[in-house]
Amino acid sequence: MKKVKQVFSGAETATNGVLSERVLPRAEHGISRRDINDNALKVLYRLHNAGFEAYLVGGCVRDLLLGQTPKDFDVVTNAEPEQVKALFRNCRLIGRRFRLAHVMFGREIIEVATFRGHHQEDESLGKQSSHGQILRDNVFGTIQEDAERRDFTINAMYYNIADFSIRDFANGIKAIEQRKIALIGDPETRYREDPVRMLRAIRFAAKLDMQIDDATAKPIKTLASLLANIPPARLFEEIIKLFISGSGLKTLRLLQEYHLLDPLFPILTPLLNDPNSKENAFLEQVMRNTDQRVNSDQRVTPAFVYAALLWFPVEERCQTLMMEGGFNSYDAFNLAMGDVLDRQIQRIMIPKRFTSVIREIWQLQQRFPKRFGRRTYQILEHPRFRAAYDFLLIRAEIEGGELEILAQWWTDFQQAKPEERKQMLTALRNNESAPPKRKRRFRNKKPPRQ
């Protein structure tokens, strides 16, 4: 964390009796414009020059104070979305629940939000469900009201482009120094407004290596079931943030600790009751490997993580279909894949571009043991071979036995020269009986149903 002076010489004013504001002049914090994205600065300055207030807010301010490079730079202003759009030709307005302006610079987007206010009686602007969840939220207000509407104290800090000061409304600096994740306001009320805040608390604690404040942590287990009210499409994006941020292993353990995995993956959690089980060991190793790849700037696909999270439910469902339904292993496995994905999509919407990859990773696990002639080369040339092979390696590492022998064979086969590959296949054929050729069967057509 960059050095922040402990003396606050700026103004301290009451905010509706709830929050108090502290202003840190430029000399008392370590944020420099050199660390701020150029396009974010363009947006800030154009808003400021047009007579509007303009601030960096939330995670980017927090990360800059921690000495980290922010992933995104979010801007907040007193300009309403239509006024922002009028200032930027490269702007589009999005969202119904939250009306936002996206200012686009090629593939980069700077998100601009208007200060949020407190809810009014007008349902066309703000609306809540019977559970207290916010369904619509286009009520605009002041910066003080916006700070009260922020979720965590570490996210209620504003960098002012007008004088380069930081306005801290909820002792966010202190929370960073204490390494505490704490909600603003009553935790139960805030979780009911938006249950995803429970997942955000977990994500920040894992990502920033901080502890969740006792008062903030206490209601989570009781209110975990409220995640069932979140649209499946929104949960998909949240899961990506949880597991593909470089701290997936810590995240997995915290989700289990606070009973948040069950409302997200109800078909998985019954298999994780034993902390020493192969299922737990497998998932932890997948998360450990994923964290290493993310932190090394290597590519990671969400499909691999989902394939791992749902692998053992597929295996269990396959066994059930074989024992109770009388299906052969091939048909049972194909049916199991469909059943598990259909059930999971009811909770978390997984786009088809990922479910197709998930299926291919799983199907290759069934094909890997079948190493006969041309079939082996077809597997090797499969577009998902590398992901499926990595999946096999983790399975072998955890389960050992025949899987370990199989994984080593495929490792050797990839590294072997063409002639050596032929010798490996010949040796395999001599040691194992080739699969019997299927006899063509002719069946009489069944009479049509009457």
157 contacts 61 by C-beta, under 8 angstroms: yes
> Residue-wise pLDDT tens for the chain (450 aa)?
444 433 333 333 333 445 789 999 999 999 999 999 999 999 999 999 999 999 999 999 999 999 999 989 999 999 999 999 999 999 999 987 678 999 999 999 999 999 998 755 444 444 454 554 544 456 889 999 999 989 999 999 999 999 999 999 999 999 999 999 999 999 999 999 999 999 999 999 999 999 999 999 999 999 999 999 999 999 998 999 999 999 999 999 999 999 999 999 999 999 999 999 999 999 999 999 999 999 999 999 999 999 999 999 999 999 999 999 889 999 999 999 999 999 999 999 999 999 999 999 999 999 999 998 899 999 999 999 999 999 999 999 999 999 999 999 999 999 999 999 999 999 988 875 444 444 444 344 343 333
378/386 Cα distance (integer angstroms): 13
CB atoms within 10 A of CB 151: 23
114/139 Cα distance (integer angstroms): 9
What interhelical angle do 302-325 and 329-345 show, nearest 10?
130
* Segments of 199-340 assigned E as strands: 211-212
* Helices (H), ranges, 346-431: 352-367, 374-380, 385-399, 401-415, 418-431
151 contacts 190 by C-beta, under 8 angstroms: yes
Among the listed residues 422, 427, 311, 433, the one whose alpha carbon sits nearest the alpha carbon of residue 364: 311
Measure Cα distances from 37 to 105, 153, 164, 295, 353 in Å.
Answer: 12, 23, 15, 21, 32
Supply the residues annotated as catalytic.
72, 74, 151
Query: For residue 346, what is the enclosing H or E element?
Result: none
Radius of gyration for the alpha carbons in the chain, expressed in angstroms and rounded: 27
Among the listed residues 15, 333, 7, 303, the one whose alpha carbon sits nearest the alpha carbon of residue 146: 15
Please report the domains of the chain, with CATH numbers, ordered by start residue: 1-178 (3.30.460.10), 302-429 (1.10.3090.10)
Secondary structure letter of residue 353 according to DSSP: H
Among the listed residues 144, 4, 127, the one whose alpha carbon sits nearest the alpha carbon of residue 76: 144
CA 224 to chain centre: 17
The one-letter amino acid at 444: N
CA 254 to chain centre: 14
